[in-house]
Amino acid sequence: MTRPLRVVAVSGGLQRPSKAAALSEHLLDLIADEVVCEQRLVELGQLAPQLAGAVWRSQLPDTVERELAGVEQADVLVVVTPVYRGSYTGLFKHFFDFIDQDALIDKPVLLAATGGSERHALVIDHQLRPLFSFFQARTLPLGVYATDTDFVDYSLQNEALIQRARLAVQRALPLVELTRHARSAITDEVVAA
């Protein structure tokens, strides 16, 4: 029997609770409704004090190293960042600066962001896609962007956004299934050897 897919969400929200974390959890739940998976949420706001001042990965404490390893070992990533000044947060970028540049090759990545208004919606295509293209990850075709008005008490309430999130996950499933089959084939080869 193969193990469940490891789905890791990285929330770039700086506080708790955060809309980025709420959107991350919503997307994780949608994926879990479709495939057997282990879910993990990495909240960068909680790691901020441990990330600050580190220039090299060797300078990071074990708690941050475990989160980095979790991202690198994930089968599927969900990344969500709040928009600050037209881009992802500095903390979000700082975290991904420590990720091994080959660790995300061909990994499916669902991109999402939160912002104060619709005018930041292009952050997914203009900021997040290029970042994950550097990693040679497979960014999924449909991103999810949510504004402050889409939430009530850190819960998604806008039905159009909920439907878009569901559609993003549905359109991601073929690539997720390919990832599952590729992982199973590799596991079978290792066992046979």
Is the model's pLDDT at 181 over the cut of 80?
no
Residues 6+ apart with CB under 8 A from 85: none
> Which of 3, 11, 6, 2 lies closest to 103 in space, CA to CA?
6
Structural domains of the chain in order of their starting residue, each with its CATH number: 5-192 (3.40.50.360)
69 vs 186: CA distance, rounded Å: 20
**61-82 per-position pLDDT tens digit:** 999 999 999 999 999 999 999 9
Whether 191 contacts 61, CB under 8 Å = no
**77-106 per-position pLDDT tens digit:** 999 999 988 899 999 999 999 999 999 999
Q: Any idea which residue has 């029997």 for tokens? A: 1
50 vs 110: CA distance, rounded Å: 26
DSSP 8-state class, residue 43: E
